């Protein structure tokens, strides 16, 4: 799965919420609790780390690994994800493997969808404030249409009354002060 994402700082979440409601379909509210983990890879000579996320959301937990790249101010990620049964047991397993928890993050907000697969989250990220995340998930190669996708994502940001200068190119890990992730 490929995830293409823009995120922007939001000073007035009420205004953005009203704008989203005017042209996108509301889906649900959410409360995502993420833990980021790191595990040394013996096959890589011990110097390489494998980092991943364990997310608790509503009634389920999901493990996600992303190969992150940044292109023209956007995150373009290759993503591998699977549902997790037995979160407590999985975390105990991680401990036995020598994994270490790097940091945690909590996002609370609302999700909207637009025809064509674009979705938007208006979220309060604990310790950082409000953000609008606009993304497209794609199964196929996005390279030939990356400019169009960026234009479509930016259009949502602008329709919400935000400006290009509000776009935040850094990942949340850096904004939270975790530079090694």
How many domains is the chain partitioned into structurally? 1
In a domain, 86, yes or no: yes
In a domain, 109, yes or no: yes
In a domain, 56, yes or no: yes
pLDDT score, position 83: 94
Instruction: Catalogue the E-assigned strands of the chain.
Output: 2-10, 25-40, 49-57, 60-71, 74-84, 100-113, 118-125, 129-138
Please answer whether residues 69 and 143 qualify as being in contact, where contact means their C-beta atoms are separated by less than 8 angstroms.
no
Residue 99: phi and psi, rounded to 5, are: -70, 150
In a domain, 180, yes or no: no
pLDDT band at residue 12 under the 50/70/90 scheme: very high
In a domain, 181, yes or no: no
Note the pLDDT tens digit of each residue in 85-133: 989 999 999 999 999 999 999 999 999 999 889 999 999 999 999 999 9
Note the pLDDT tens digit of each residue in 131-150: 999 999 877 766 667 888 89
Check which CATH number belongs to the domain holding 36 and give it. Answer: 2.40.320.10
Distance of alpha carbon 149 from the chain centroid: 17
In a domain, 145, yes or no: yes
Please answer whether residues 166 and 156 qualify as being in contact, where contact means their C-beta atoms are separated by less than 8 angstroms.
no
In a domain, 22, yes or no: yes
In a domain, 61, yes or no: yes
Structural domain including 28 reads 2-175
Residue-averaged pLDDT of the chain: 90
Q: Residue 116: helix, strand or coil by DSSP?
A: coil
Distance of alpha carbon 21 from the chain centroid: 21
């Amino acid at each position: 799965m490929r995830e293409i994402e823009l995120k922007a700082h939001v000073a007035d979440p009420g205004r953005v919420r009203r704008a989203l409601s005017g042209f996108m379909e509301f889906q649900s509210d959410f409360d995502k609790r993420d833990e980021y983990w790191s595990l040394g890879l013996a096959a890589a000579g011990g110097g390489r780390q494998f980092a991943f996320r364990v997310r608790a959301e509503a009634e389920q937990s999901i493990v996600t690994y992303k190969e992150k790249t940044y292109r023209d101010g956007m995150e373009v990620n290759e993503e591998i994800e699977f549902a997790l049964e037995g979160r407590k047991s999985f975390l105990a397993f991680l401990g036995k493997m020598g994994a270490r928890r790097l940091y945690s993050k909590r996002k609370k907000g609302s999700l909207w969808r637009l025809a064509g697969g674009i979705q938007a989250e208006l979220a309060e990220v604990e310790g950082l404030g409000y953000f609008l995340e606009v993304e497209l998930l794609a199964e196929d190669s996005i390279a030939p249409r990356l400019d169009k996708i960026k234009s479509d994502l930016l259009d949502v940001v602008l329709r919400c009354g935000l400006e290009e200068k509000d776009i935040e190119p850094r990942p949340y890990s850096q904004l939270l002060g975790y530079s090694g992730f």
